[in-house]
Structure 1
Amino acid sequence: MPVDWKLPFSPGVRRLISAAVVVSLTLTWVGDITVLTAQRNSPTSWVAVFVTGPLAVLALPDTRWLPSLTVRATGVAIMSMTLSCLCLFVSHSAGDWGLLETLALLFLTARVLGVTQHTRTAAWTVTLLVVSVMMLPLRIGTLDAFVTGGYLLTVALALCVIIGYSTRALEARRQRAVQDVRQAERLALARDLHDLIAHHMTGIIVQANAARTVCATAPEKVEPVLEAIARSGTETLESMRRLVRVLREDNHTALRPADLISELGDLVADFSRRQPDAPAARLEATAAVRTNRFSPEVETSVYRVVQEALTNVHRHAPGEGVVVRLDADPGWLHVTVSNSWAQRRTGGPAGGRSGLGLIGLRERVEALDGTFSAGPEHPGRWEVRAGLPRSPADSPLNPPRPAKK
């Protein structure tokens, strides 16, 4: 029975937790059945072993056809409390407690507290589960069993609550870190766009003043100036449309790539100088990239993608070969940074799922309606890919001149 733990752990840790839970529940159920068959027990003992216990276990995993976790946990808690109250009127012998049900209720307590988003919902659901667990010793029917069992269950519940609360706090801290990174990237992009678009607006103002000056003396020169103003305004509005509502961050140095290829060449060369023992990094750019000009926000984002990817390679896979490739088609500009995996690795590969730098890159690229991915592309290689849509204002670096008539 697979258990889907939606916790802020790596996939390997989640699989290990699920396997441990399944093994412990299975062994506990076998123990319950062994004790049940070795003694003469009342019908309520059979109910605890074959009904309420398995139903409590089935409430643990998430599946498409089951209700929400809080609904399942509430139903299991009420079912357990009902059986405990019924046991007050039925004679019992020692050993017919229902350990499978107890263990499932403890797991539910930790899980509800760890993954339920709404605090109030988690509080009252956990309260019901705690009450149902503390009522389990009533099934024995003796004072000694109630005192001893209550003590043991209090310790177990305390551990489960600590685990659940720690998981909840860890997830909240992770979400805050992700939000901070996304917000910082949005503000950084807004600052870049502010500085880059300011140039366009200055040109529009200068051209408008020139048109007003020559309007009376040379009316034939006004129309080309107006066309240039319209073209500059279209480019500026296209850039601002993509990032409306993004605020500017103070004390942030804007990035102004004078020429995309030369800037990336310097970046790759600097990366190679920092790793003298590694193969030299390569920058590959197709003719479609070298002969075209792209919008400022696209070039800035491409630079940031390459910069972050090279930083991750230097940090997580030093000494490995790196290839930076740029390609363009009529609608998109594509950038790929690939590197071979380190032979001796202490952690995950560069840009693992928890990498906050890649979260910021994804935020920047998706803000421009682009696509972003990072992961193992084929055995032995790790790739960071980004695709950015080209603006209608993009044009060749050397456009053909109109023929003279």
Structure 2
Amino acid sequence: MIEPRALLHRAPWGRAIPLVLVPLMLAASSFPGQYQVPIWYWLAGLAAAAVFLIGDRAPLATSIASSALAAVMFVGHAWGLAGLVPYLGAVGLAEAAMRVTERGRVVTATACWAVAVVTGLGTESYTDFWRTATAVEAVAAVGLPLLLGLYLRAQRELTQTYRLRAEEEAARARTAERTALARELHDLVAHHMASIVLRIGVARHVVADADPRVRGVLDDVHATASGALTDIRRLLAALRDPDLGQVALVEPDAIPAEIEAAAARTRAAGLTVDLAPLPDLTGLDAIGRLTLLRVVQESLTNAMKYADQAAAVTVRVTEGPDALVVDVTNRRRIAEGETTGDESRSGHGLVGMTERASLAGGTLAAGPDGTQWRVHAWLPAAGGVEGSAESEAGRPNRGTEDDR
């Protein structure tokens, strides 16, 4: 079902049609030496066509103005097609009845058009005013546009009701799916992860006197598993909440520690990480903070797989007027037989990061930049103004993105 109001939005030029038709109708009703449409009739007709242009913004005022101009033209009793020009007032009444919901305003517009119609019928000299045909003509001229407008308004409200109902059903379906996913995640992944954390903890006590390097590895695995379990619990809370934006998945104060931990794991793998101090992250909402953390973590994970260990991995998070810009760069490893170090590979890491950035309202691009591999993300602040010149300057190029 197409909403009537949407038809005018799809074809905004439709409101200018009367400005073309009215002069043609008036010109077609003029015959040199026999019948001339008066200049005042021309002015009233063109004014009525011009008023129609603002019908969508001020429907009541347009209807009243059209009715007043119609009353003036009805008195003239134009011949031929010119006699149809006053009925722009009927169109104005129909649109007012469709767009205006207050009953009093609709009654006002109807009364004004009724006065115009009765004025035209009362000034006719070639017929008797007090007759049944006059009453029928008046009721038809007023009632038909009124009923049409009310019908279109009812259709629009019905369409809106169906749309809201569909959105509610879709939201309920998404909630049900997320609840089912949270249940499976809790019963399977979280359970096994908790078991891993427990067993590693026992192993640390059993091999307390073992080589310090073994204890270091166990400590690192225990910390990593514990962090993963914490992330799973946060994700479970988010999945069970219908509104992800209200879930504090990662607190602002926890971001620096989490990023530093990711950098420490990368250094433990033999890479040098140049991590600049982070700016204030309180401007990001919960999803933005989680996205920032995951982008940095995934970028550093990819660096451990593909970066040249002889060069440093740089991590920069800079604060703009309404967004945070993340840049992670590293020198690409050149494998034996390669000359460019091309590491365009198929994978899900970059796809996931791009989807996260999109859900947070931002953008992400990743790919080779000379001898470097660069991940560039733009994440809007919670109160940022999108579309400003400054924010557009910080957005990455959304061109071809190489999966890594």
TM-score bracket for this pair, using the shorter chain length: 0.3 to 0.5
Q: TM-score, normalised by structure 2?
A: 0.44
Q: TM-score, normalised by structure 1?
A: 0.44
Structure showing greater relative contact order (alpha-carbon pairs closer than 8 Å, 6 or more residues apart): 1
